Chain A
């Protein structure tokens, strides 16, 4: 590996979570699909109010890890505990109750295609709150505005662009003012201005409501901006966990390769590209 191009930006030390119980605690999680081991003994703690960014190459198992923390998959080996509930043994009803405090935005947006965008965002509120319908409509408009969408309530998800769908699904995840938010690549496919707006939204959420946020992202600039701590997954294992500065100065060459965006086994061409950058 070549010399470090580490930026000199110093972040003021964020409040460390020492002494607190983790909200989400993953222990020795192993996930296999057939012959293939996707996660191979992952352990990770996420504390109340922090923003954890999960980094890792495509297909490294980030979405899989997230789905286990959301309780959408039961851990076959190892354990996942969220707010003290063991997701491996929790009953269907317990899981459902737990999920009321979670907001999830999927990598594929996963909007309900048979409902309008407005109804999509309204659904959790209609189902889980006792608010009046007119209040809910106002809240839907506010949530959509937060992600930079206006006048889309009456459109169907298929009538939106990919990026708009993605943002609408963020609005839906925010609808119930959750305690824990899961974002799977929130800014993938968004233009830089909107992506920056999304970063601001996440920063606002965490400063104003001290929500626990778990974000999977490939956007390194955004990752370094919003994260309190980050972890990097590589070949089904957690390679590094730590604060932004700890990750930046992590000696592992694979971590450095990732955060400096170098291609595999730098060839003539790619090293020239890096020097030029």
Chain B
């Protein structure tokens, strides 16, 4: 009975959470339409640009390092096995497709969760605790419109860009490995990779980036908006924003990959 009860309570909480995310997403879409650079004073557009700097540009160095290392690790691990079959050439395919479809977007998302997701939830939660969000509402500015939408639009632009950079540095690292083990020049390696990659690989990577970006911004903001318990709560909401974002991003990745596996071969 108690087990049933706790399972029930757990499901209700999850359903409620998903519901909240959905409502927030709906309002965000409605407000996003108004954020065009040609309307009003262009203030929303300016805020979006500032967020783009925060989310995108400053994550780039660390992302390139992380993805480069990931590409290299993959080449090394695959190489260790493929060597036994004399199929080292397959490394080019493996690194190219896996980075583009899978690890490029995933690494970009992980880095952005760590850098921006946590920062977003801390910022929003602090605003909630200090009544700044109430002050916004009181002056007829919807916090979703004023706080979330610029971050969301910035993320929609920046995460795909970051993903491209991430994919590129991963593939490049694979190229370095290929140069030393396969006697393949970097140019030859890159053109081989370009031959191998299909439209499907690139599109699925970018679609994932858009989905991951939506998850990161919405989860982080929701954690911030629903903070409770004063300044201590800010820390909690940051932690849970990171944990929930990572979990949901990986889950979404699984769903996307399954979808592409079955429906777009």
Contact = CB atoms under 8 A, between A and B. Distances in A.
Contact of B131 (A102, A108, A123, A127): A108
Contacts of A112: 127, 132, 135
Contact of A99 (B27, B132, B137): B137
B151 to A, nearest CB: 14
A102 B132 contact: no
A106 B134 contact: yes
Interface string B122-137: 0000010011101101
A127 B135 contact: no
Q: How many interface residues does chain B have, given as a range?
A: 10 to 19
B138 interface: yes
A104 B134 CA distance: 10
Contact of B140 (A72, A97, A172): A97
Contacts, number: 59
Contact of B139 (A71, A92, A97, A99): A99
A150 interface: no
Q: How many interface residues does chain A have, given as a range?
A: 20 to 34
Interface string A69-85: 01110000000000000
Contacts of B141: 96, 123-124, 127
Interface in A103-149: 104, 106, 108, 110-113, 123-124, 126-128
B138 A70 contact: yes
Given A67-B134, A172-B135, 17 more contacts: A71-B137, A72-B134, A96-B137, A96-B140, A96-B142, A100-B140, A102-B140, A106-B134, A106-B138, A110-B130, A111-B135, A112-B135, A113-B130, A124-B140, A124-B141, A127-B141, A169-B135
Interface of A: 67, 70-72, 92, 96-97, 99-100, 102, 104, 106, 108, 110-113, 123-124, 126-128, 169, 172, 176
